[in-house]
Amino acid sequence: MEKYSSTRRRFLKTAAAALAGTGSMFYISRCGPQKPLNILWLISEDTSPDIGCYGNPLVKTPNLDRLAAEGIRYTNVYATCPVCSPSRSAFMTGMYQTFTGAHQHRTRDKQPLPDPVKVITHYFRRAGYFTANVTEPAEGISGTGKTDWNFIPGEEPFDGTDWNQRTEGQPFFAQVNFQLTHREFQRDPENPIDPAGVELPPYYPDHPITRRDWANYLESLQVLDRQIGAVLKRLEDEGLLDNTAVFYFGDHGRCMVRGKQWLYDGGIRIPLFIRLPKKNRAGRVDDNMISMIDLGPTAMRLAGITPPEHLQGRPFLGGRIKSRKYIISARDRCDETDDRIRCVRTKQYKYIRNFFPERPYTQFNAYKTNQYPLISLLPVLHKQGKLTPVQERWLAPQRPGEELYDVSADPHEIDNLAEKPEHAKVLNKMRSILDDWIEKTGDMGEKEEPDDVKKYWDDFMAARYKDWMEAKGLTVNSTPEQHVKYWQKKLFKGE
Active site residues: 84
Q: Which residues contact 213 (CB under 8 A, 6 or more apart)?
A: 185, 256, 373, 374, 487, 491
424: which strand partners?
Answer: none
145's enclosing H/E stretch is: none
Quick check: 261 and 82 in contact, CB under 8 A? Answer: yes
Q: For 336-479, list the strands marked E by DSSP.
A: 341-345, 349-354, 402-406
Q: Which residues contact 196 (CB under 8 A, 6 or more apart)?
A: 211
Q: Are strands 244-250 and 269-275 parallel, antiparallel or unpaired?
A: antiparallel
3 state DSSP class of 100: helix
Distance CA 267, CA 78 (A): 9
177: which strand partners?
Answer: 43
Q: Distance of CA 276 to CAs 40, 41, 126, 270, Å?
A: 11, 12, 23, 20
For 238-284, where are the alpha helices, taking DSSP H only?
A: 265-268
Could you tell me how many helices (H) and strands (E) the chain has, helices first? Answer: 14, 12
Which residue type, as a one-letter code, is found at position 242? D
Backbone φ and ψ for 274, nearest 5 degrees, come out as -130, 115
Q: Are strands 38-44 and 172-178 parallel, antiparallel or unpaired?
A: parallel
Quick check: 267 and 339 in contact, CB under 8 A? Answer: no
Which residue type, as a one-letter code, is found at position 423? H
